[in-house]
Amino acid sequence: MSDSHATAPLPSALLSPTCRVAALQMVSTPDLERNLADAGHLIAEAAAAGAQLVLLPEYFCFMGQHESDKLALRETWRDGPIQRFLADAAQRHKLWIIGGTLPLTAPDTSRVLNSTLVFDPQGNEVARYDKIHLFSFEKGDESFDEARTISPGHAIQTFDAPFGRVGLSVCYDLRFPEQYRRMGDCALIVVPSAFTHTTGRAHWETLLRARAIENQCYVLAAAQGGKHENGRRTWGHSMLIDPWGQILAVRAEGAGVVSGELELARISEVRQSLPAWRHRVLD
């Protein structure tokens, strides 16, 4: 793991010029084994299509009937069936897996950490990010307060992939641009999410494109997308966006794979023609 202020990007001569990336869209259920099986099929589909990096959505492993249900599935860091599933899938398919989020044990035993784990093609864990910003929303019959069951993380995290730095964030983090600025010079920002249908319809695409445009890098977002067995409806629209803010691929609803090519030359082209990244004055 690395804080974005602690490491410099890899020298450009050592970077792979392209990478095929994929976001998995799911409609997760209260059944852990079923969710892992569904995720496994989608990972295999993405790998067969040439993906070298796969991003799963937030809560890919479990969407319970009640927010507190996730407490029963929490795992100790680096030990548990969900973590073994991710490591095994990365090793079996020889690709990078960014494992959406899963519940990890928190110091406060009444809550969990909502954590993203990253595995390299050898199945080694190389990064962990605990979601910092916790969602709260009240409108009509919709009521959410993640702080009731989740403890916030505190550290911004990135990791180095063969094509460059990858910035880690989760869902509600998307509304806080200062977090992304502090990641430093990223080739890719990932956003595993479970946006509600209400907030997603209003803001999802706008926020994702803004993060790509202002950081002049690719953004890959893997979402929950559809009507869940617990009655919740998520927005979906998993997508890949280029550094100019152009949507390269998107899936509106339902389970499936969204994929596309990440090209370092495209990042350079955008930053050369509009050098906003170099013109930054404030940290």
Enzyme catalytic residues: 58, 131, 171
Number of other residues whose CB lies within 10 A of the CB of residue 236: 28
Assigned token pair, 236: 């979906």
Q: How far is CA 200 from CA 174, 184, 224, in A?
A: 11, 27, 11
Closest CA to 58 of 143, 144, 124: 144
Assigned token pair, 2: 């690395």
Closest CA to 264 of 131, 172, 164: 164
Whole-angstrom distance, CA of residue 127 vs CA of residue 159: 6
The answer to whether 127 touches 88, Cβ cutoff 8 Å, is no
